[in-house]
């Protein structure tokens, strides 16, 4: 992968690859689930603990190879009986349904080993399934150890197995490292089982992409695109409209209700949920965000936010964590919010920042308003009550409260609480310094325009009372 991040932690569909393997395994309802780790052990183990706290993390020692990895797991699990399912951590599209079919075949046939295989046009790099005259599997031969005749085989091993526990334990004890890579091969257990007279069967899947592994970023992107295609197909069959699947990306843990519409350029990540009849997009990215029924979200970036039923957001809105927009509320164009509760029917229509704030129901916030929440050391909260009307270009210097039904004047800096029903005015009285342009900007287009509009404008310097340059500079 040429990456500092361990391969199995690279995300596909919003979930680390090892997370896909764990999720598929959990669909079988196993008595025990163990994940074997080695490279970047602590980082991988921490991720596993987040994904599935009940999973057992098993450390592989310095002996290399898949056989040794499984042997370490078996030692950690102790004297277990029954079927043991083994998965690779870098096969993100393998699902629990395929595993369940494979396990059912294993039990029905009473085999010692069941292998999941597939056929590919180019088997370079893969272990080959070698069958006997009766069609049973005799062995799996790794590419580097294969004969010229075996290299022609197109049926490959997918690194997915079901073993009888007792056979697996005995087979692992017999393994050595006598091969081209000097590793302990799990695949050698197949030949061991055959020698013991146990049945070895390969269950072939036609869904080649579902068993593809990832070894570089090209394959990562290819499988990511395929998983996204499958995810979108699933949701479309569940009643979701996806206008342009080619530009729409939906993570595997996202939940969508019927009659949701996803317009071009939509990305839905993490644990995002979208309610019935909502429209998302175009050009919208939501992460871990709740969108309730009938809401509309246009050209917006949101993370850890809640958008109420029938609410409208966008265009060009940025909802940061902790934003809660009530039903039928509005966050409009070029508005940023953070840790803010905006009540039912309340509106922040345009060009504003609302952070660490609470806005009551049916209140309207004027354009270009800011809740000044940070004093350089601590964050403070602004509270604006219900049915309030704030003027354009207001600065609310927190902590401050504007009461229910109150108004604030345009251009105000609100530093004190405004009682309910009051008008808060926080600005100085306007002064006009007449003749200033003619005196201070003579010969400019502005001076010419002023003279044309008021031919007597140049005479005002004697009557303004503030003609001294120092006074003018101070006024300016």
Supply the pLDDT for residue 180.
75
Distance of CA 274 to the CA centre of its chain: 14
The ranges assigned to domains in the chain are 7-211, 436-475
Options 3.40.50.2300, 3.40.50.2020, 3.40.710.10, 3.90.550.10; CATH for 7-211 is 3.90.550.10
Mean pLDDT of 94-115: 96
- Whether 472 has a pLDDT exceeding 90, the answer reads no
Q: Give the pLDDT mean for 432-446.
A: 95
Residue 163 has pLDDT above 60, yes or no: yes
Helix (H) or strand (E) run with residue 74 in it: helix 66-77
- Is the pTM higher than 0.95? The answer reads no
Predicted pLDDT of residue 464:
42
pLDDT interval class at 133 (50, 70, 90): confident
| CB contact at 8 A, 184 and 66 | yes
CB 368 within 8 A of CB 393: yes
| pLDDT (0 to 100) of residue 467 | 44
Question: Do 288 and 272 touch, CB atoms closer than 8 A?
Answer: yes
Q: Confidence band (pLDDT; 50, 70, 90) for 456?
A: confident
- Sign for the CA dihedral angle at 425, 428, 432, 436 comes to negative
Task: Supply the pLDDT for residue 292.
Answer: 98
Instruction: Work out the pLDDT band at 135, boundaries 50, 70, 90.
Output: confident
For residues 306 and 286, the answer to whether their CB atoms sit within 8 Å is no
Can you say how many angstroms the Cα of residue 173 is from the centroid of all Cα atoms in its chain? Answer: 43
In this predicted structure, the answer to whether residue 261 has a pLDDT above a threshold of 90 is yes
Alpha carbon distance 18, 33 (integer Å) = 13
Q: What is the mean pLDDT of residues 163-168?
A: 97
The catalytic residue positions are 350
19-30 mean pLDDT? 98
- Within 8 A by CB and 6+ apart from 10, the residues are 1, 3, 16, 17, 214, 220
Tens-digit pLDDT profile for residues 390-402: 999 999 999 999 9
Q: Quote the pLDDT of residue 74.
A: 96
What was the pLDDT predicted at 459?
56
Of the candidates 9, 187, 28, 31, the residue with the CA atom closest to the CA atom of residue 92:
9
């Amino acid at each position: 992968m040429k990456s500092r991040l361990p391969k199995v932690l690279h995300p596909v569909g919003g979930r680390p690859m090892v997370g896909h393997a764990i999720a598929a395994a959990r669909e079988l309802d196993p008595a025990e689930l163990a994940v074997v780790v080695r490279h970047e052990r602590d980082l991988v183990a921490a991720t596993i603990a987040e994904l599935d706290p009940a999973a057992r993390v098993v450390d592989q020692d310095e002996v290399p190879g898949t056989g040794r990895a499984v042997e370490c797991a078996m030692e950690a699990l102790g004297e277990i009986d029954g079927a043991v399912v083994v998965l690779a951590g870098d096969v993100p599209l393998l699902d629990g349904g395929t595993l369940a079919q494979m396990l059912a075949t294993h039990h029905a046939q009473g085999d010692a080993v069941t292998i999941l295989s597939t056929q590919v046009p180019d088997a370079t790099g893969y272990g080959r399934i070698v069958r006997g005259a009766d069609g049973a599997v005799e062995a799996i031969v790794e590419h580097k150890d294969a004969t010229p005749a075996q290299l022609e085989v197109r049926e490959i091993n997918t690194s997915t197995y079901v073993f009888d526990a007792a056979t697996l334990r005995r087979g692992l004890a017999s393994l050595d490292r006598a091969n081209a890579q000097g590793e302990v091969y799990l695949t050698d257990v197949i030949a061991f089982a055959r020698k013991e007279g146990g049945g070895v069967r390969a269950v072939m899947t036609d869904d080649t992409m579902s068993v593809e592994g990832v070894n570089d970023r090209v394959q990562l992107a290819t499988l990511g695109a395929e998983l996204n295609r499958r995810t979108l197909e699933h949701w479309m069959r569940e009643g979701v409209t996806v206008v342009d699947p080619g530009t729409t990306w939906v993570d595997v843990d996202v939940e969508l209700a019927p009659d949701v519409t996803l317009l071009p350029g939509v990305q839905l990540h993490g644990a995002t949920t979208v309610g019935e009849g909502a429209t998302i997009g175009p050009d919208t990215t939501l992460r871990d965000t709740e969108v309730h029924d009938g809401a509309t979200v246009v050209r917006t970036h949101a993370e850890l936010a809640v958008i109420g039923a029938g609410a409208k957001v966008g265009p060009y809105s940025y909802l940061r964590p902790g934003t809660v927009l009530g039903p039928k509320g509005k966050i409009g164009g070029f508005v940023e919010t953070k840790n803010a509760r905006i009540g039912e029917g309340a509106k922040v229509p345009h060009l504003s920042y609302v952070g660490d704030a609470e806005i009551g129901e049916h209140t309207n916030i004027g354009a270009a308003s800011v809740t000044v929440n940070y004093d350089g050391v601590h964050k403070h909260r602004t509270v604006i009550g219900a049915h309030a009307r704030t003027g354009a270009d207001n600065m609310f210097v927190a902590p401050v409260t504007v009461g229910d039904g109150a108004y604030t004047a345009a251009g105000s800096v609100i530093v004190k609480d405004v009682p309910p029903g009051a008008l808060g005015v926080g600005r100085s009285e306007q002064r006009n310094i007449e003749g200033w342009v003619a005196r201070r900007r003579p010969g400019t287009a502005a001076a010419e325009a002023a003279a044309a509009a008021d031919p007597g404008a140049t005479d005002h310097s004697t009557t303004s009372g503030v003609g001294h340059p120092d006074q003018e500079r101070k006024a300016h």
